[in-house]
Structure 1
Amino acid sequence: MAIRYISPVPRRTASGRVAEVYAQSVADFGQPAFMMLSPAPDLHAAAWAVLRESSLTGSAPRVDKEVVSVAVSHANRCRFCIDAHSILIHALGDHDLAEDLFHDRTPAEAGYAELVAWAKATRTPGAAQLPAPPFPAELAAEYIGTALLTHFINRMFSTLTDEQLLPGNLQRSRSVRRVGAMAYTRVVHRELNPGDSLPLLAGIPLGHSPAWAAGTPIATAFAALRGAAAAGGALLSGPGLDLLRTTVAQWDGTHQPSPGTWLPQRLAGLPGADRPATALALLAALAPHDITDADVTAWRASAHVTDADLVRLLAYGAVVALDRIDETIAGQASTR
């Protein structure tokens, strides 16, 4: 995986919050998590906490949550995340399921098929699968948290990496996927203590806490993610913020056409100085694959900005999209 546009903090020189996230994620996840977010340590820690508390701990089967992650990644066309989570299902021992999901085939087992349909539907407001999700109410926070975290991370991987899990896309070979899974076999079966990531969030301002996760570490982690991402909103002008929020509020879940058509129309009413930052936030929210070197260069030329600024701006756009999806799920779900 090549990280684009920013320089991540190397493990050997990491300190403070970033070093602590690297250490915990290696122990609990098998690798340092989300290195492309490390220039913004608060955002990096919050994203890791959401992953850990939603997807790696709790009572819902880990394989179920990996199914959700693969299905959401297919809906968002995030190739890196499809490949990575399919390998984790191999590590959990369900090889046929991993291959079905890798190739976007409907799983043979009805329960997994229902999970896939629900997870893919979370991208689409009003989708028929949303009012009756296929999991019990007491586990809703884990399933919903996993789906929302995947929507966020899909956008960050699509904007800040080349989406190649292994050089030359070697993971596209089934034998490589099986062998690669062996490195994670032990860690995916570890039983983790919920809440152990929360000390990493000390001092991060908290944003909106989701009602569907009330009283759980998942709620705190999401509140920290929103609070950390809010700094990216400060990099947008007032009109730019309004345009981003209005555009995402009107989004129906469809994939955007070429940015050469819809994006200039959206930006046309903004002052020229406001357009580069707003364009990046809009693309991160709705069309992350379409961000180009030229888009990033135009924004960097418009202001004195850092790698941390870029990470936060893109994350803010992604969180605005996440909030739109969250509203859709929370407004329609009546867990069984």
Structure 2
Amino acid sequence: MDYRRLGASGLKVPALSFGAGTFAGKGPLFGHWGTTDLKEASRLVDICLEAGVTLFDTADVYSDGASEEVLGGAIKGRRDRVLVSTKTALPMGDGPNDAGTSRHRLIRACEDALRRLGTDHIDLLQLHAFDAGTPLEEVMSTLDELVRSGKVRYVGCSNFSGWQLMKALAVADRHGYPRHVAHQAYYSLVGRDYEWELMPLGLDQGVGALVWSPLGWGRLTGRIRRGQPIPEGSRLHETASFGPPVDEERLYRIVDVLDAIAQETGRSVPQIAINWLLQRPTVSSVIVGARNEAQLRDNLGAVGWSLTDEQVARLDEASAVMPAYPYFPYVRQEGFARLNPQPV
């Protein structure tokens, strides 16, 4: 397993990390992701540790805290061998203080997560969404308190826009609070919006990407192809509405190239899609999920080798999409591109 620094921090994380959204799955979204119980989760953790995957990511909102509870049980007795990442901000109830990142909510959410995980500290606490109703000075100062107390080691965010992340970093710098060292963001061959603003920001500010849904909400599993119906048992029917739409012709164009490279390399389509991500700038770790041992072992095969430059170029071309304004001039017009070259 390759280990990389998490952004500009001193913490090293594995190139692949494990997402526990499938643990104890229930509800309209997480129930379709997976329903892994404690016994199955413990086995998946065993396989991860054997492969060098030491970072496990969850969130309080995943199955109303049940994911944290199952993960806590699965790592019991080996907490010193793993890094635990969790997230908070999204609603956990209907009460006025059951959502957001106020001081009241963050402290309570941290205590609840520690209890459910069965640990005395969280290695990486991420804000699951930007809270427009709470001053960033309050947010960042509370994160500072949690770090100083030893309950949290590092802080990050998830699903922020560029200006939201940059404003949070500015507040942290102004007051000497801990900076976000990670941004957990959606990024895949069928979802390259991350590259337009968040990737340059990450390079400039030392914020590492923890990539979620690297297979594009199940579109890049190798089971969806041109001219064929969605296979029986696919989760795409249930989960696609939660993610951004993807143009079908572009998807099939990408899958055609993935299939061709799979034939050339003897690798699976998911392995190729994940390996492409591992070669992108700012990517500290790609979060993989699995409902069973076979899926996990296949995903783990995405490391230990690299696509050739020519194969990467073919995937780049097949997945390219015109960015929205104000980003497209920097891609299409030479004068703009000269002043702001694309990250490589």
TM bucket (normalised to shorter chain) is: under 0.3
State the TM-score, normalizing by the size of structure 1.
0.27
Which is richer in helix?
1
Which structure exhibits the higher relative contact order, with contacts defined as CA atoms closer than 8 Å and separated by 6 or more residues? 1
State the TM-score, normalizing by the size of structure 2.
0.27
Which is richer in strand?
2
